[in-house]
Structure 1
Amino acid sequence: MSQFAAGLALAAAGPLGMAAGSGPRVLPLWPEGVPDAKPELGPNRVDEDGRTTNITEPSLTVHPAAVDRANGTAVIICPGGGYVRQSTRREGEQYAQWLSALGVTAFVLTYRQLEFGHPAPLRDVLRAVRLVRAQAGEFRVQPDRIGVMGSSAGGHLAASAGTLFDHPLGRTGAALDAVSARPDFLMLMYPVITLAGPAAHAGSCKALLGAEPRAAEVELMSVERQVTARTPPTLLVHTQADQSVPVENSILFYQALTRARVPAEMYLFEHGAHGMGMRDGLGTASLWPRRAEEWLRDRGLLSPART
């Protein structure tokens, strides 16, 4: 058995990775071995608030679509946390449950962060897209209906997947590199977009690129500058009240998408602090899931899968 086949067998471990009825399934992202592994750091840590840190073992946690509504669409979710921690429960599992109820198969990505730095997070998200696409039949999803959703720094990672999917830094030499890593759509929640200028989120930049990043890396990872006509259709959600990641981040990305003639829709709300997730009591901002559902439906992503 080839290394590629062995890796897929380990990752799958059955149709969806674990026995049916045993709860969400966790798939190793790199079953053949994490690139540039750092075993001395020990395992991932999860605190009582559902935040994940010290990520040395990247993974995908599978939340199957509601059986009576399954439509063949998949979304890989990148929780936020400034590339320092991941808000796995609030910006991962909660979104996954919502998407599952819409008939979407959701995958919560646990990706590497400051312990590894660039380009490890990019490699993890592109590996996730390739893995889901390569096993689309096993996951009962359509290979051309795979999106990436992210919040805050996770939004930056999702936008990186949508702009740098063909970049050499996103490959490791594995056989799975032959599978397309281009997402079919993006859903960005109060995303970090630029790492330069007054709208930049300094903490995310430092965690990802280090205290003294090279100008070329800042340019590359300021993803509004990497948008092309091949960037996938995008939904953006942000608020004026966000004091951590300025709303200008979403505006910059939307403007770049518009110049490239990429279909895009953006909702900018008055209320809702950074990291609002799916909280109630924020006026119209609390209704963003309804707007997102409408966008998915309008793009045909909630329609029954073709047979």
Structure 2
Amino acid sequence: MTFEPNHRRRFRHGVGLAIASALLSIALPAQAQEVQRLYQGKAPGSERWSLPEAVAPTPDGGKVFANVVDPEYIAYLPDPAKAEGSAAILLPGGGLRALYVGAEAKALIARLNAEGVVVFVLKYRVAQLPPRPPVASTGAPPTAPVFPKLVIRNANANPSPDDKAIGTVFDFAVRDAQTALTMIRARASQYRIDPHRIGMIGASAGGGVAIGALLRAGAQEPPVFLASLYGPSLIDVAVPAEAPPLFIATETSHGPVTDGLLALFTLWKEANRPAELHIFDVPTFKMPATLWLDRFVDWMREQKLLRARRVGQALPAG
């Protein structure tokens, strides 16, 4: 699944970037949408950030957001007749430097909505980066990146652990994820969901943010499930005694990302907590949702995160 297209690590701020703050322009087959800011006034800790938020289209019809300074979530509600009380917070990826919301994210939202699940797309804070000139295309097909070998300890696959600026942004992103979870629980009746049936799904860096939100939950009730799509932990992992069920999907060729997720899966199993791991041998960064989405929905149902389908009930379209 590519929440971040093939160019996700080569994002360039250039011609065509425009100030914007709404994901609502991404057409989705959802019943309704609502935008909710996380904080009144400026987000705590980043009050002095000055670069404007920006958005640009992606080749697959989605959008990429840069310089996010005003965190918000966008609710995608299923048909009320299908709503079954569960919800998922979706954290897009982008290396903590941007947020990509593309065609595969839309497919996931549409499928979960079809199952009756409310989806909240979280636009969390990312690094402030000044615009750079666009890079001319050579016309050559993109080449797969070569990943340096990374020693994984305690399932921590952070490639730049000493980068203090990115570390600060990660802390902000984790706080945004936890704040969103708290706000959504407080508004559960408004969204017609059970406040104890809200999980998190993160892609790439978004997976790392979701894991961080769980590990730093403290006294806060953690998400009821965690799904990471090629997004390893970016901090040391000590599996909580009551860690929620974990679903992982990644690619064989994703270097330290795959290594980190293997380590995370191992720690979950050593702690005797539910975990499922899928590693697909597909071309780099081309893991379509068709490989794992049906299995993910079945896994949610097996973990009692969704109601069991009635005998003879057809799969939802999409």
Using the size of structure 1 for normalisation, the TM-score is 0.71
Q: Give the deviation of 1:242 after TM superposition.
A: 2.4
Please give the alpha-carbon distance, in whole angstroms, between the structure 2 residues aligned to 1:277 and 1:135: 33
- The corresponding residue for 1:97 is 110
Aligned ranges 1:223-234 → 2 under 5 Å: 225-234=237-246
What is the identity, as a one-letter code, of the residue corresponding to 1:192? P
Q: Which residue of 2 aligns with 1:74?
A: 87
What pairs with 1:8-87 in structure 2 (closer than 5 Å)? 24-31=33-40, 33-38=42-47, 40-49=49-58, 50-87=63-100
Rounded to whole Å, the distance in 2 between the matches of 1:272 and 1:101 is 29
Which of 225, 229, 245 is matched with 1:189 structurally?
Answer: 229
State which of 275, 285, 288 in structure 2 corresponds to 1:264: 275
| One-letter identity of the residue aligned with 1:226 | A
CA distance 1:66–1:82, change in 2 (3 Å): same
Deviation at 1:185, TM superposition (A): 0.5
- How far residue 241 of structure 1 moved from its aligned partner, in angstroms, is 2.9
Aligned to 2:291: 287
Count of aligned positions = 236
Kept in 1: contact 2:42–2:70 (CA 8 A): no
Aligned position for 1:149: 201
Report whether the alignment pairs 1:253 with 2:252.
no
**CA 248–133 in structure 1, closer or farther in 2 if over 3 Å, else same:** same
The residue that corresponds to 2:145 in the other structure is: none
Question: Does the aligned pair in 1 maintain the 2:92–2:202 contact within 8 Å?
Answer: yes
Residue 215 (structure 2) aligns with: 163
Detail structure 1 runs of 4+ shifted over 6 Å in the superposition: none
How far apart are the structure 1 equivalents of 2:247 and 2:201?
9
Pick from 149, 161, 185 the counterpart of residue 133 of structure 1.
185
Higher deviation after alignment, 87-96 or 294-303: 87-96
2:216 and 2:286 mapped to 1: Cα distance? 25
Taking the aligned partners of 1:118 and 1:300, their CA distance within structure 2 comes to 31
CA displacement at 1:150 relative to structure 2: 0.4
For the residues of structure 2 that align with 1:229 and 1:65, how far apart are their CA atoms? 33
Range with bigger deviation, 289-298 or 30-39? 30-39
2:306 to 283, 290, 302: 302
More helix by share: 1
Retained in 2: the 8 A contact 1:148–1:183?
yes
Corresponding position of 2:252: 240
Following the alignment from structure 1 to structure 2, what is the Cα–Cα distance between the partners of residues 66 and 22? 5
The one-character-per-residue Cα deviations of 1:7-55 (angstroms, maximum 9, x if unpaired) are xxxxxxxxxxxxxx99521110113541124365244211112011100
**Equivalent residue of 1:24, what SS?**
strand
Work out whether residues 28 and 59 of structure 1, in 8 Å CA contact, stay in contact via their aligned partners in 2.
Answer: yes
Distance 2:214 2:288 in 1: 22
Amino acid at match of 2:83: A
Instruction: Name the CA shift for 1:80/1:90 in 2 (closer, same or farther; >3 Å).
Output: farther
CA deviation vs aligned residue, 1:160-199 (integer Å, no higher than 9, x gap): 12222118xxxxxxxxxxxx35111101111122x5xxxx
Percent of residue pairs identical: 28
Task: Look up the SS of the partner of 2:125 in the other structure.
Answer: coil
AA of the residue aligned to 1:166: G
Aligned to 2:12: none
1:148 aligns to what SS in structure 2?
A: strand
In structure 2, what is the Cα distance between the partners aligned to 1:277 and 1:227?
29
Kindly report which structure 2 residues correspond to 1:268-279, keeping only aligned pairs within 5 A, or say none: 268-274=279-285, 276=287, 278=289
Kindly tell me: are residues 259 and 140 of structure 1, through their superposed partners in 2, closer, same or farther at Cα, counting changes over 3 Å? same
Q: CA deviation at 1:130?
A: 0.6
Matches of 1:303 and 1:23 in 2, distance apart?
22
Give ranges in structure 1 of 5+ residues lacking alignment.
1-20, 168-179, 196-220, 279-285
Amino acid at match of 1:66: D
